[in-house]
Amino acid sequence: MKPWLTPPTGFAAALTAQLQATVPVLETERLRLRAPRIDEFDAYCTIFHSERWPHEGGSDLDAWLDYNQMIASWLLRGIGLFSIEAKADGTHLGFAAIDHEWGDPEVEIGWMLNDHAEGQGVATEAGQALLDFARSQGRSSVVSYVDAGHPRSAAVSTRLGGQRDAAAEAALSDTAFVFRHELKEQADG
């Protein structure tokens, strides 16, 4: 095992648990979104290097730095990366994020699933939980940046009510689609 992927022990483990407990836990009918753990990095790395993550690529170090910055965002911005697990049995399904990454013009929501979790509505369910969380923070909108070569993610953004934003797309230096999610308060019913 790579020493930097070894879970902490002693005081460091206690501090890690304390910090992870500050990350909100979002629950849906089937899913729990919670703080990521170091032992889930291999799953993140696998997704990072897959064709389902076409705009990234890079080395394991690039994946590690991306994973770390999205987790550190919790301390810096109060938003960041969640691990997605099945409530029924705790199976790790992938990751979802509400984050403002380096170079992005706006706060984004996104999802990255393990192979075995695709095609089951997990991204849509996790995405709705992210939208609800963003709304609870008082945000008026968030976006999803979707690589033009990733139609499944575009379909999820559309199912979540996202609308393509031509002006936001024109401002980007790459070929991503920008789906805007307006977060108006829902009327009490």
The answer to whether residue 181 scores a pLDDT higher than 50 is yes
SS3 per residue for 68-117: HHHHHHHHHHCCEEEEEEECCCCCEEEEEEEECCCCCCCCEEEEEECHHH
Read off the tokens for 168.
Answer: 């936001």
Distance CA 132, CA 27 (A): 11
Asked if the 28-182 domain carries CATH number 3.40.50.12780, the reply is: no
Residue 2's pLDDT is 87
- Domain edges within the chain: 28-182
pTM listed for this prediction: 0.92
Residue 187's pLDDT is 44
- Give pLDDT tens digits for 33-80: 999 999 999 999 999 888 776 555 678 999 999 999 999 999 999 999
Distance CA 126, CA 94 (A): 10
The answer to whether residue 128 scores a pLDDT higher than 80 is yes
Residue 33's pLDDT is 98
Q: In a 3-state reduction of DSSP, which class is residue 139? A: coil
